[in-house]
Structure 1
């Protein structure tokens, strides 16, 4: 384990140097100081100092956390630029690059067999954030692509891949933490909060991830349904304890319907007073039902 920890320290230091050089390029290109780039650079400077100390005594968890926070800030700056420009035609390479940056912390943990569960090193919240950011980035990119008719006619198979990857990241985000099991030994003053926690919903971001997943399933069924089935696989669970590690081909309708029904139930139940909008979710559910009816008619 000590050897693995030392290996992680060296690798994190290398990645930190690469990220710092990338931030320098971004800052020069921007021509002005940016809050997120400044914060990312400061985290990497602290990382460099810690890595300069005795590597055998360095805490890999602390170093990984610093590196991850820097990556989250650095990529956030670049994501905002893409969104502001509505994802220019040549954005695919940049999107892949950002996904790669945001995947590096998890890859590092798995490659070095540091812990059976990545959350033991990074914690649930950072892992959720990494998955959320990758899924949300692909959601925004796919949203832009679905408005380009000519592109869709030529590259719907590529859209399908982006959608499946994005849905996978969002479901992964929803599955990191197990729902709180309600029993006599756990007391809550707020029953609505208790209900949300029992459903594995710990923040507004969890709700957004559910809506984004459902919407991406809708795009998949609408724009990619005519393609031949491919061996894409995804964890199809919706929340913590209920999710299965059994991989299965992604069914856009099944996954989307399951997650949007839960979204509507929560928004019109425990969160009713907060007035979350369910109109779009219900329209998509109607689309799924219509699609199912059409399939049955075609088979009869």
Structure 2
């Protein structure tokens, strides 16, 4: 299980720390892997329990704080390098994907609880906003590959994916999740930029904890951009690979129609 795997990684980390010979980057990467494994177990438990209304927001907040610890630790170690140089793009992508996907799953459940939603619309919006920031950050760690004319015909589809910044299925899923969250935001909260910074800060500090994002995104524009790219890729280089665009196209229509 992931819990056992995480525990084994922590054991290995302890041995290496006691040895005192490993480079800090190796130790920090091991710590990150342990965090990812242990929190994955916790997240699955939340999903299995269908995000209990009374306790799940606090648990989500705690998990996001834990998933932020590796990056915080890099900064606290006074290593004069950016987290990406120490942890690598792949681990950082995992951390941000997991934070974004966790908020996506939480919001997916919360939006169906009409009474809760009515009473907590600002918190719901903040969860959407934070989740979007995490997913967009996840998509930004690796620079899209620049296409050149020498790309052979058989590699053109792959090259196009890389030029769009899509390096894995998870990158594509992050685009779809982002589009969906924008759709929920527009449906339930209206346009993205309404609260004053003071309101946002108050919500951030009281409810969502250590890693809230204070800049409110434009749900319509962000969602439209993400879903247009998603549809273009699924119907272009990934055509016939099993990626469905029906839902994405429906949401794109909503973004356009609700603007008129």
Alignment TM-score, normalising by the size of structure 1: 0.77
Aligned residues: 244
Deviation at 1:148, TM superposition (A): 0.2
Name the structure 2 match of 1:104.
69
* Structure exhibiting the larger radius of gyration computed from Cα positions: 1
Name the structure 1 match of 2:123.
158
Deviation at 1:85, TM superposition (A): 0.9
**1:109–1:115 CA contact under 8 A, matched in 2:** no
Name the structure 1 match of 2:31.
67
**Runs of 4+ in structure 1 over 3 Å off:** 184-189, 230-233
Q: Distance in 2 between matches of 1:137 and 1:36?
A: 17
**1:36–1:77 CA contact under 8 A, matched in 2:** yes
Q: Distance in 2 between matches of 1:204 and 1:36?
A: 21
**Structure 2 residue corresponding to 1:77, chosen from 36, 41, 49:** 41
Provide, for residues 171-202 of structure 1, a one-character-per-residue CA deviation record: whole Å limited to 9, x for no partner. Answer: 00000000111124666742110110111100
Q: Distance in 2 between matches of 1:116 and 1:281?
A: 39
Name the structure 1 match of 2:22.
58
Q: Distance in 1 between matches of 2:11 and 2:249?
A: 48
Q: Distance in 1 between matches of 2:238 and 2:6?
A: 35
**1:61–1:121 CA contact under 8 A, matched in 2:** yes
**1:179–1:200 CA contact under 8 A, matched in 2:** yes
Task: Determine whether 1:262 maps to 2:229.
Answer: yes
Q: Distance in 2 between matches of 1:181 and 1:204?
A: 20
**2:151–2:159 CA contact under 8 A, matched in 1:** no
**2:185–2:219 CA contact under 8 A, matched in 1:** yes
**Structure 1 residue corresponding to 2:52, chosen from 78, 85, 88:** 88
Give runs of aligned pairs for residues 102-251 of structure 1, distance below 5 A: 102-184=67-149, 189-225=154-190, 228-231=194-197, 249-251=216-218
Name the structure 2 match of 1:20.
none
Label 1:63 to 1:156 Cα distance change in 2 as closer, same or farther (>3 A).
same
Provide, for residues 237-270 of structure 1, a one-character-per-residue CA deviation record: whole Å limited to 9, x for no partner. Answer: xxxxxxxxxx964101010001110100010011
Name the structure 2 match of 1:17.
none
Q: Distance in 1 between matches of 2:11 and 2:159?
A: 41
Q: Distance in 2 between matches of 1:213 and 1:142?
A: 12
**1:188–1:194 CA contact under 8 A, matched in 2:** no
Task: Determine whether 1:277 maps to 2:241.
Answer: no
**Secondary structure of residue in 2 paired with 1:273:** coil
C-alpha RMSD of the superposition: 1.9
Label 1:53 to 1:187 Cα distance change in 2 as closer, same or farther (>3 A).
farther
Higher relative contact order (CA 8 A, sep 6+): 2
